[in-house]
Structure 1
Amino acid sequence: MELKDKSSASQTQDESENEPGSEKPPTRRASVVSHWWEISQSETPHFERIKKYVAFNLFFFSLFILVEKLSSGLPIADIYLRLYDLTLPLMTALLVFYRRKSLPVLTLLVFYSIYAHPVVQSLATVSAWCAALISSRLYFNATGKRGSVSFGRSRLTIHRIGWLVCVNTLVYTLIHWWLLLQLRLLPAANADLFSVPTLVNMQWMMTSCITGVPFCYLLLRSVYKPAWFVSYLKHIKMLVVFGPRKAYLLTWIGLLGGIMFCLISSENDALIFTDYSLLWLLPVMLWGTICIGHALISPVWVLMLFLLSDYVDNYISVGKSITVENYLGHLAFSSSMIFIFSLTIVIVGVQSARVRTYIRHLKRMSLSEPNTGLPNMQALKKDIIHSPDSGLCMIQCPELNTLTQTHGIAFRFEFVKALAAFIRPLMRENEEIYYTPGYGVLLRLNKVDAYIINTYFKAISSFRFTWAEMEIGLNLGLSYMPLNSCVNELSSIIGHLNASTFISLQQGKPVAFNSVIPGDNVVSPGAIRHMLQKAIDRQSFMLVAQPVVSTRNKPHYYEILIRMKTMNNKLFFPDSFLPLAHDAGLLARIDMAVIEQTFRFMQLREASQPQSRFSINLTPQSLVKTDFLMRLRKLFTRYSIKPERITFEIIESDMIDSTTALKVLRQLRQSGCKIAIDDFGTGASSYSRLKNMEADILKIDGSFIRNIVNHEFDRHTVMSFCEAAKLKNMEVVAEFVESEEIKQMLTAMGVDWLQGYHTGKPVPVEDVVF
């Protein structure tokens, strides 16, 4: 805030004329005018600073004279008590704000006071001048350059109260008392430094400093920087508008006005019109400080202190006191109470402002993604409430996951920030970019249509990201949709938009997603996932069994199939919940639940159906579990089930080629269980897998069986499967046998087992008959 002089050293016109290539002015007169104009122009900023400095000092001088007029005093029996006085706070505030640049005007002020005022008042000004210089110097020694920042900083509160209030008041009191004592201007009743009048003066002066220094600093800064004062007024307006409700605010104003009326009213016969009412000021002012804000309450409290000091005789009347000593005792008590109130209001105000700052910071953090600084999902939900008719667009880059593993997590965040900076110029007012790790970049647009989205898609297709001297162009998928009434389903919608971006990548164009609000006949994936978890935990899958019939008069067996049943008897088939289970990593847990449910049923039917045999589907995910065999053996033992009665059907996949899976299958066969390869022919490299894998049964996928009568290719394919199975000493099961004609043809081919609606439909496991 200090003024720094700039020298106006610039090249003169004569020097510039000696430079090569410079043209001489046509006349001497024109040269002089041009020279004067350049000097005046170069010194204009310097002149402006001088004018601003002089105007500021004139304002301070005028303000000091006004403060002297407003300062309150009280003559009591040859004793003059100084009550609320802002002369010392004003000098201190100027030194804090302007530092050494304020010394000339302060010195001039002292000489003016000596010339224009009586000796006692001049001594008070000199004492205030000395105290302000000493306390401010000690204050800046303790705080350094931080000391000039605006009031309200909680880290400087202790220093300001200590140096600018306590030390300031103590130094002023000692110097003023010593000067009066030396000049024999001190009445005998007040000659003792530790007298009650001195205590009253000190307490009022501390009150003046703790409230007046920040108030005077506010006035000086407002004049020096009008733009800051405008922002301060806007801050006050926000405190009132977004503060307590109007009813509470009006109640507070009414209480405050009522208490002040009781204190300054001349009717002092009742108790409420005495200093008793001072006690009620603290809770009312504290409520205002906490709920409204210190920035507004602080100036209000200063105005109230002016009134309390001017009308002190109304609530502490000398006419009602028995003696002067009793009256001074009341003054000492009330002045100490007012100082404690002021100190409490300041400290609570600073701390509440600090808490508000932390809360605003936490709110900002809660609404932004910390690594990119972009608004997050919570901010999106908040903004959509205010703009429900906007549209949502998602940009996703699956390749980013691979590149992040290569270059580190910083690559992802820098990519997102670069993409956001690239997109932002394309966006309109009131549109925003959001990001949440795990999803792509989300755009909230005022409107989404084919033209706007195609513009964005073409732009991002040309986006290139620079990283470690590499320029990378990544394929980005884009999906979009209008929000309309889908605000409550935002999480689900974002998941669908994320899935649609992969379709966009495959098709090479933006994909529009039309959301469907879940109704009575549509169950959300979240609800299915919930039911699936309950079915696993409670082992409550609905077991159905479909017979597998022999073409060679062997006893048939049943394949166990699963369903999920809701409370309202709605059935869910495997194709509706197994993909969710796969994504959640729950397939192995489903296998164990179904195995245990089947074993429990077999134990219950042991007496009536001791030779029953069942086939249970086993996912490849179970085979790679390290504890699968141990848990399976425990189930065989617990339910007393012979392994020869169980066939495990393994879906053909690359996972069963692993060493662990092949070892588990080998041990299952050694224990007595049979192994069947399910859906054979649909997987890659089926014949090579059949060559390397040991199994007992080969189940041909129904896609080859369904059209075997009419399609020669399917018929020859099935025949080749049968020949390969015979070479491996494996039995063959044909699925989807849905007619007598298909049955006869498969029997003629030598297929061992038939399964389908023609040979037997799935029935609840409780209804199976052997």
Structure 2
Amino acid sequence: MKLDRQLLPRGWIAPAALLSAIGIGLQQISMPYVWAHGGVTDSATLMHLHTGLGLAIAMLFRDIRILVTYFLVLFCGWVVRAYVDNSTFDQIWPGIVDVLIIIVWSRFCAKLMGWPRDEGHRRIERADLPRFAFIGLMLFPLGVVFSGIMRAWVTVPEELFAGGLQVIFARFFGVLIVTVPLIGFVTEFNVREPYRLRVKRSPHRRALWLLLMLGLLVLAYFVLSNVDRKSTANGAALITDFRYAVAGVLAWVFLYLRPRLAFALLSVAMILICKLASMGIPQPIDPVALANLASISFEALILQIGLLFVFVYHRDVVTQARRLSTQAHVDPVSQLPNLVAFRDVAKLMQKRGEPLEIGYMFIDSSEEWTAGFGIDLQARVQREIAQQLSNFCEPFIAGTGQFVLMPRAEGLTERSWVRVIRRIESLTVDIDGQLVRLSPYLGVAVVKDDSVLALNSALLVASQLAFDARRRYEVRPLYDSSSEPLAGAARTRLQSVGEALANIRSRRIELWFQEIVPAGVRAHDGRRYGEILCRLRSADGELMQPTSFIEPLEAAGRGAELDLSVWRSLVSVLSENHDVASRLRLSVNLGGASLASASFLRDFERVLDAMPVPADSICLEITETAAISGLDEARAVLERVRARGCRIAIDDFGSGVQNFSRLRDLPVDVLKLDGSYVRNVVGNPKDQALVRAAVQLAQAFNAETVAEYVETEEAAQCLREIGVDWFQGHLFAEARPLNDVLEELRRYR
């Protein structure tokens, strides 16, 4: 038992010897009074502290040898005293029976109360309180009845009755003073703070209270010990007069002092009650005095059990509150400290006036840990990352693959922040048998002052910097150079995301159409070809342009929701205009987040099933970066869609870094040339060479080419000479509502 090793030596012999020595010492402590009733006059004591210790031993120790040794040593000491007093064998032999009975009875009562217990369950619970009251304080003292039966052969009835009552009261007070307080003291020994949600550490004030209370208790005992018994009308009256004050003081002790100190003071208070009770016993004793003694004993029992209930209930409430608080400070998946814990630590550092700089790390593609392999892998990877980060700072988890980093008191230099990134970049994670390196992005911001607003702003800025680093593929930390503009930009971005999502979910989506015209090089089937563009209409009727919501939605991981809403709206519009919808050839965007989302793909296939136009009228536009970053998954998805008859277009072709070498791995029908090359194709020979190479590559793969952002006739002529198949740009057609195009087709069919 871990706790016993702190209080007692190991093994059973040394604890038995030590406890036996304590028991012999307790035998010498008495609360004497004279029993004079019915012709029997005898010196008695109102408490058997050694018996209370014996019951506590039976409750705390599983090894029966300790209990047996304890009572046998006490019995030997009693025999020595009896021999010195010239007692006869007829007076001694019942003691042998007594010691056997008390050993068995102590163990039996301990078992009835559910003790001894395993290490993890050794504490006083609410269910123990009635057992302590009825078994420990009532049934256990009545064990003297068995001894009385054996003594009936050698003891006259009057002496037997008197001795039995004396022992019952003495054992009761022994349990009251020693057993229950000692059980509480031992089981709560490791608790070094009071059971309070917030413990204010003021040792000098606490020591003053402790000295004051001990002084009052010692003074009270000294006064009561020297009061002339005859001048005290009734010790029971003192207990009655001050019982509420005693209960209140002891309740305060249990609520505001350490448990082991509270239980020690409880034992002292029970000794005082026992002393007052002994003072109230008249000579000779009469039935009224016996009734008063029984009444005092019962009130002491109620007081102790009531205090135990207050302690246990308060302890359980505080423990549960602490447990809930701990759970609120820990991420349930990875069991790492979360943002709640970060804020508490940060507030503490702010109160100390320490300069506070925080980092925000984002691990790219971290959402795939859960999407592909479940939360077990997510938790393992995040714990490995946190372990590496803990070498430099305190990591707090902010989401899947996102960490808030708080430097320790000495802070981190710019070189140290770089080392943080390098450490995570060098970390390899085993994902389904493959070693994968991580791609971290880091933003660093300074908390300007000790306000909550400054902390929140710094956190927002650091997170924005981390996501900006990801968008810019910045492998070094981004630092806060102007936190207020960045914080304002981050809030604007968050506001844009919220407003866009509200419009999407309210179905305030408008589909626009920008026509793509033939360059005249290839023949076409006569259908009007164009790209579907998305606009959102706010609640007040204002039209939101794509630049204000597409990038923030994608950064917030909501791109798939936008894509699905656009496709569903397209099905609805085409279904309402099915008579002319087949005269269109439509190109519709699909983001990288959508390709990686299994739930989106399931819904998307249902959308394609409901499409009221032929499959070859639909062309899926995906960005080159999205296609290449998840090549295997993208190829599988695109092949399924292409098998339905739909066409596949690579948007912004030329913006990536692995274009030509990986194009052969994707099913492609159309290459849409990146506008940054098209704009300068006339005056920039390098751009012209890249466009020419892309056209030749498309021809080799039997794919069509579309040039975006064609703004001038010179550019159109140059592209026509190079061999581009289709043009898209303001030179040929402005974007306009899809419904207007459908209505125009209806008028001129």
Q: Does 1:735 align with 2:704?
A: no
Distance (Å, rounded) in 2 between the aligned partners of 1:343 and 1:179: 33
Q: CA deviation at 1:707?
A: 1.8
Counterpart position of 2:533? 561
Aligned to 2:301: 339
Correspondence 1:382-397 to 2 at 5 A: 382-388=344-350, 389-392=355-358
Q: Deviations over 1:185-210 (max 9, x none)?
A: 8369x4797xxxx4x97367335314
For 2:273, the equivalent position in structure 1 comes to: 308
Counterpart of 2:192, as a letter, is H
Is 1:209 aligned with 2:166? no
Displacement after TM superposition at 1:563 (Å): 3.5
> Does the alignment pair 1:579 with 2:554?
yes
Distance 1:144 1:692 in 2: 73
- Pick from 603, 608, 617: which aligns with 2:588? 617
Residue range with higher mean Cα deviation, 178-187 or 685-694: 685-694
The alignment's C-alpha RMSD in Å is 6.8
Q: Secondary structure of 2:501's partner?
A: helix
Aligned equivalent of 1:487, options 455, 479, 484: 455
Alpha-carbon distance, 1:742 to partner: 3.5
| Contact kept in structure 2, 1:591 and 1:618, CA below 8 Å | no
Tell me the residue number matched to 2:607: 631
TM-score, normalization: structure 2?
Answer: 0.63
1:107-161 superposed Cα distances (whole Å, 9 cap, x missing partner):
4642565479999xx9999998666544455578999995798996348959988
* Contact kept in structure 2, 1:293 and 1:349, CA below 8 Å: no
Q: Is the 8 A contact 1:477 1:504 kept in 2?
A: no
Asked whether the 8 Å contact 2:361–2:442 carries over to 1, the reply is: yes
Question: Residue 511 of structure 1: which of 470, 474, 477 is its match?
Answer: 477
User: Which of 355, 380, 394 matches 2:342?
Assistant: 380
**Is it true that 1:534 corresponds to 2:496 in the alignment?**
no
Q: How does 1:274-313 map to 2 (within 5 A)?
A: 275=240, 289=254, 295-312=260-277
Q: Does 2:88 align with 1:88?
A: no
Q: 1:539 to 1:413 in 2, by over 3 A?
A: closer
Q: How does 1:359-758 map to 2 (within 5 A)?
A: 367=329, 375=337, 377-388=339-350, 389-392=355-358, 432=394, 438-439=400-401, 444-446=407-409, 447-453=411-417, 479=442, 481=444, 483-485=446-448, 487-488=455-456, 507=475, 511-514=477-480, 516=483, 519-523=487-491, 526-546=494-514, 559-564=531-536, 571=545, 573=547, 575-577=550-552, 579-580=554-555, 585-586=560-561, 588-596=563-571, 598-599=573-574, 615-619=586-590, 625=601, 628=604, 631-632=607-608, 634=610, 636=612, 648=619, 650-651=621-622, 654=627, 658=635, 661=638, 664=641, 679=652, 684-685=659-660, 700-712=673-685, 714=687, 734-743=707-716, 754-758=727-731
Shift of 1:56: 8.4
Assess, with a 3 A threshold, how the Cα gap between structure 1 residues 440 and 633 changes in structure 2: closer, same or farther.
closer
**CA offset at residue 589 of structure 1?**
0.6
Partner of 1:41: none
**How many aligned positions are there?**
671
Residues 233 and 736 from structure 1, CA distance in 2 versus in 1: closer, same or farther, beyond 3 angstroms? closer
Q: Is the 8 A contact 1:560 1:614 kept in 2?
A: no
Q: Partners of 1:691 and 1:423 in 2: how far apart?
A: 39
SS of 1:736's partner is coil
The answer as to 2:74 corresponding to 1:106 is yes
What is the one-letter code of the residue matched to 1:445? R
Q: Kindly provide the CA deviation profile for residues 172-231 of structure 1, in whole angstroms up to 9, marking residues without a partner as x.
A: 35436865883438369x4797xxxx4x97367335314422446799x8xxxxxx9xx9
Asked whether the 8 Å contact 2:672–2:707 carries over to 1, the reply is: yes
Structure 1 Cα separation of the partners of residues 143 and 124 of structure 2: 25
What is the deviation of 1:665? 5.0
Which runs of 5 or more residues in structure 1 are unaligned?
7-48, 222-227, 637-641
Deviation by residue 1:396-441 (Cα, 9 ceiling, x = unmatched):
88799999999999999888878877887x66xxx64556884377
C-alpha deviation, 1:677, in angstroms: 6.8
Q: 1:151 to 1:300 in 2, by over 3 A?
A: farther
Cα distance between partner residues in 2 of 1:759 and 1:203: 109
Residue in structure 2 matching 1:153, options 102, 123, 133? 123
1:170 aligned to which of 142, 165, 173: 142
Identity %: 16
Q: 1:592 aligns to what SS in structure 2?
A: helix
Distance in 2 of aligned mates of 1:104 and 1:416: 60
- Determine the C-alpha separation between the residues in 2 that align with 1:327 and 1:386: 61
- Once the two structures are overlaid, the 10-residue window that deviates more, 132-141 or 733-742, is 132-141
Q: Which runs of 5+ in 2 are unaligned?
A: 1-7, 449-453, 521-525, 745-749
2:447 corresponds to which letter in structure 1?
N
| Equivalent position amino acid for 1:650 in 2 | E
Contact persistence 2:447–2:458 (CA under 8 A): no
